[in-house]
C-alpha cells in the first residue's frame, strides 16, 4: 500500500517548477554518491486486506482474553466504551503536542481536566501532563526530590515494584545520586518505621514508599511520612489510583510528591504498554516538576483558554539545564485516564475501590481455606493483591489454570529465589464470584 497522493503528472509539474529532471537529481545535488544505500532488503508492500490477514495471523498466536488473576503493576480492569469512543477520535489522536494553543484547545482543556482530576485524587496541587509510565514517573520523582532537597541521598523501599526500582537505577547510575534501599519486614511485608528512623539522617533528601507495595501490602503511610518529615526528608509516595477511593490519599499523609502507574484507569494491558505515568506535587514544587504542564489563562477578549505553561523548565528552552529531557509523553493514554475518571465520577471511584477490595478479600478468604496454601503476610492489610505460599507445584498450577483459560497468579519465585513457591494474586472488580470460585476449585484440585 502507498499513502502518497501525488501522481506522475503532478510529479512532473513539481520537478519542472523546481527545475530538475528527477528526484534522483535532487538527491544527487545534496548527498555524495559514496554515501548512498543499496536497495532495501525488505518484502514487497501489502494491500490492506493482506495486511489485516497477516496481523490476524500474528494475533492468533497469542493466548488472549484470559480470565486474569495476575497484576504486579498492570491490571485487568474494565474499560468503558466511552473511553475508546473519545480517545479514538482522530481530532485528538492525530494532533501533535499543542504548540499552537489557539488551534489545540481540545487537547489542552482535556489535559487540564486530567491534571485537575489527578490533583483531586491525590489531594496535591499540581500534576504534569503525564510521564511515559509508572516506572519512569517514579524515576523522575526521585530526580525531582534530589533537585528540590538539594541532597543526593534517597531512601527507597524495597517494596517498590522491581520494574520501577530497575528504572530508578538506570536513571540515577550516571548521576551523583545515592539510592539506599530499606527492606520490608519479612513477617508483615511492610516497612518498619523504626528501621526507617534508624536510617534517616540530615543528608537524606527523600524517602520513597509504594503503597500498596509490590506485594499488595498497604503501608502505614501516616507514620512513615511523619518519621521522614521529622528528619526534614521529603516524602515521595507511589500509589495505585484505583485504591484511592478507599485508602488514604497522598495529601492526607502530607506527601510532597505522588507518582504512579495510570494504566488501571482506562488503559488496556497491551503487554504492559503504552500506559501513562502520573506525577503530582505540592505547590512549592510546581516550577521544579518535569514535563509538560497546562495552565488556565484568558485570551485577548477575556475568554478562558488553556496553554502549555511554566515552559522555561523544559528542554526546548533550557536545554542541558532543563528539569528533564522529556518531550513526547503519554498524552492520549492520560486522556484515556481522564475520560475514565470522568465516567466513574467520585462515587464510581469509591465504588471501584470498594468492589476491588471486597472481591480480593473474598478470594483471599477462599484460598486461605485450601489445604497447602498459607498467606505470606497473614495479618497485613491489602487492597486487590496478595501473596500465598504453597506446597503444591506452581508450574502444574499455572498449567491447570491456563487449560481453563485462566491467567493465574504470578510466580514470585521466578523473580527472587527468596519467594520460591510464592504466588501473587490480583483480583480486580472485573472478576466475578463465579470466576473466583472456579480459580479456587482448580487450585484445590491441582
Partner 1 sequence: MNVPNELFYAKTHEWARKEGKKVYVGITDHAQHEITDIVHVELPEVGKKFSKSQPCAVVESVKSAFDIYSPVSGTVVEVNEELLSSPEIINQSPYEKGFFFVLEIENENELKELMSAEDYKKSL
Partner 2 sequence: MNKLINEIRSNRNTDRVIKCDVPLDIEMDVRYKGQKSTNIPNLSENTLLRHFTNLSRRNYALSTTFYPLGSCTMKYNPVVNEKIAAFEEFSSVHPYQSEETVQGSLEIMYELEKSLCEVSGMDNFTLQPAAGAHGEYAGLLIIAGYFKSIKEKRTKIIVPDSAHGTNPASAALAGFEIISLKSDENGIVSPENLKAVLTKDVACMMMTVPNTLGVFEKNIAEISEILHQNGSLLYYDGANLNAVMGIVKPADIGFDVMHINLHKTFATPHGGGGPGAGPVGVKAFLKDFLPVPVIVKENNKFKISFGDKKKSIGKMKAFFGNFPVLLKACAYIKALGGAGLKEASEQAVLNANYVLSSLKDKVSIPAGSVCMHEFVLSSKGHLGDGVKTLDVAKKLLDYGYYAPTIYFPLIVEEAMMIEPTETESKQVLDEFTDVLLKIIEESVSNPEILHNAPVNTYVSRLNEVEAARKPKLHW
Please pick, from the candidates 36, 63, 321, 417, the single residue that binds partner 1 as defined by CB under 8 A: 321
- From residue 248 to residue 267, the character string flagging contacts with partner 2 as x (rule: CB under 8 A) and all else as - is xx-xx--------x------
d(Cα 166, Cα 35) in Å, to the nearest integer?
Answer: 40
CB contact at 8 A, 111 and 129: yes
Query: Least distance to partner 2 from the beta carbon of 201, Å?
Result: 25
Supply 188's cell numbers: 508483615
| Number of residues in contact with partner 1 under rule CB under 8 A | 8
Among 224, 310, 339, 376, binds partner 1 (CB under 8 A): 310
Q: Which residues of 184-195 are buried (b: 16+ CB within 10 A; e: fewer)?
A: beeebbbbbbee
Residues in 250-309 that interact with partner 1 by CB under 8 A: 287
Q: Are strands 67-68 and 406-407 parallel, antiparallel or unpaired?
A: parallel
DSSP class of residue 274 equals S
Residues between 121 and 140 that touch partner 2 (CB under 8 A): 121, 123, 125-127, 129-130, 132-136
* CA 126/CA 281 separation, integer angstroms: 5
Verify binding: residue 387, partner 2, rule CB under 8 A.
no
Cβ closest to partner 2, residue 202 vs residue 403: 403
Q: Is residue 143 involved in binding partner 1 (CB under 8 A)?
A: no
Q: Residue 11 interacts with partner 2 (CB under 8 A)?
A: yes
For 204, other C-beta atoms within 10 Å of its C-beta total 22
296 binds, among partner 1, partner 2, none (CB under 5 to 8 A by kind): partner 2
Residue with grid cell 489535559, as numbered in its chain: 111
- CA–CA separation, 43 and 46 (whole Å): 9
Partner whose footprint covers residue 324, from partner 1, partner 2, none (CB < 5 to 8 Å by kind): partner 2
Applying CB under 8 A, the span of 21-29, 151-159, 202-210, 370-378 interacting with partner 2 comes to 21-29
Give min distance, CB of 309 to partner 1, in A: 8
Q: List Cα–Cα distances, 36 to 29, 30, 44, in angstroms.
A: 12, 11, 21
Q: How far apart are CA 201 and CA 208, in angstroms?
A: 15
Of the pair 166, 232, the CB lying nearest partner 2 is at 166
Query: Smallest distance from the beta carbon of 432 to partner 2, in angstroms?
Result: 6
Amino acid at each position: 500500500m502507498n499513502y502518497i497522493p501525488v501522481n506522475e503528472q503532478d510529479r512532473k509539474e513539481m520537478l519542472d517548477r523546481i527545475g530538475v529532471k528527477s528526484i534522483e537529481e535532487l538527491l544527487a545535488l545534496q548527498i555524495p554518491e559514496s554515501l548512498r544505500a543499496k536497495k532495501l532488503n525488505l518484502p514487497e508492500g501489502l494491500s490492506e486486506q493482506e495486511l489485516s490477514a497477516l496481523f490476524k495471523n500474528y494475533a492468533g498466536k497469542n493466548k488472549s482474553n484470559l480470565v486474569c488473576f495476575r497484576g504486579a503493576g498492570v491490571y485487568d480492569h474494565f474499560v468503558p466504551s466511552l473511553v475508546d469512543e473519545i480517545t479514538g477520535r482522530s481530532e485528538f489522536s492525530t494532533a501533535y503536542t499543542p504548540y499552537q494553543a489557539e488551534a489545540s484547545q481540545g487537547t489542552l482543556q482535556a489535559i487540564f481536566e486530567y491534571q485537575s482530576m489527578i490533583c483531586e485524587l491525590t489531594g496535591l496541587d499540581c500534576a504534569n501532563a503525564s510521564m511515559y509510565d509508572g516506572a519512569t514517573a517514579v524515576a523522575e520523582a526521585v530526580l525531582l526530590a534530589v533537585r528540590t532537597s538539594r541532597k543526593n541521598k534517597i531512601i527507597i523501599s524495597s517494596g517498590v515494584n522491581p520494574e520501577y526500582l530497575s528504572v530508578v537505577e538506570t536513571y540515577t547510575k550516571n548521576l551523583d545520586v545515592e539510592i539506599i534501599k530499606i527492606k520490608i519486614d519479612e513477617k508483615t511485608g511492610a516497612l518498619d518505621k523504626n528501621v526507617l528512623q534508624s536510617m534517616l539522617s540530615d543528608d537524606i533528601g527523600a524517602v520513597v514508599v509504594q503503597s500498596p507495595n509490590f506485594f499488595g501490602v498497604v503501608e502505614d503511610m501516616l507514620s512513615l511520612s511523619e518519621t521522614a518529615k521529622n528528619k526534614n526528608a521529603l516524602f515521595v509516595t507511589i500509589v495505585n489510583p484505583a485504591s484511592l477511593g478507599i485508602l488514604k490519599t497522598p495529601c492526607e499523609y502530607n506527601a510532597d510528591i505522588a507518582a504512579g502507574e495510570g494504566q488501571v484507569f482506562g488503559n488496556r494491558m497491551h503487554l504492559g504498554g503504552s500506559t501513562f505515568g502520573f506525577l503530582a506535587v505540592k505547590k512549592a514544587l510546581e516550577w521544579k516538576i518535569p514535563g509538560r504542564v497546562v495552565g488556565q489563562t484568558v485570551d485577548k477578549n477575556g475568554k478562558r483558554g488553556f496553554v502549555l505553561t511554566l515552559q522555561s523548565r523544559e528542554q526546548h528552552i533550557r536545554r542541558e539545564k532543563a528539569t528533564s529531557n522529556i518531550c513526547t509523553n503519554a498524552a492520549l493514554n492520560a486522556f484515556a485516564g481522564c475520560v475514565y475518571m470522568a465516567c466513574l465520577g467520585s462515587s464510581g471511584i469509591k465504588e471501584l475501590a470498594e468492589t476491588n477490595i471486597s472481591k480480593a478479600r473474598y478470594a483471599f478468604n477462599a484460598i486461605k481455606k485450601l489445604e497447602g496454601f498459607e498467606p505470606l503476610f497473614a495479618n497485613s492489610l491489602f487492597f486487590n493483591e496478595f501473596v500465598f505460599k504453597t506446597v503444591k507445584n506452581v508450574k502444574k498450577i499455572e498449567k491447570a489454570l491456563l487449560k481453563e483459560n485462566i491467567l493465574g497468579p504470578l510466580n514470585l519465585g521466578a523473580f527472587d529465589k527468596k519467594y520460591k513457591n510464592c504466588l501473587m494474586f490480583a483480583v480486580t472488580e472485573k472478576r466475578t464470584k463465579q470466576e473466583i470460585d472456579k480459580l479456587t476449585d482448580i487450585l484445590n484440585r491441582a
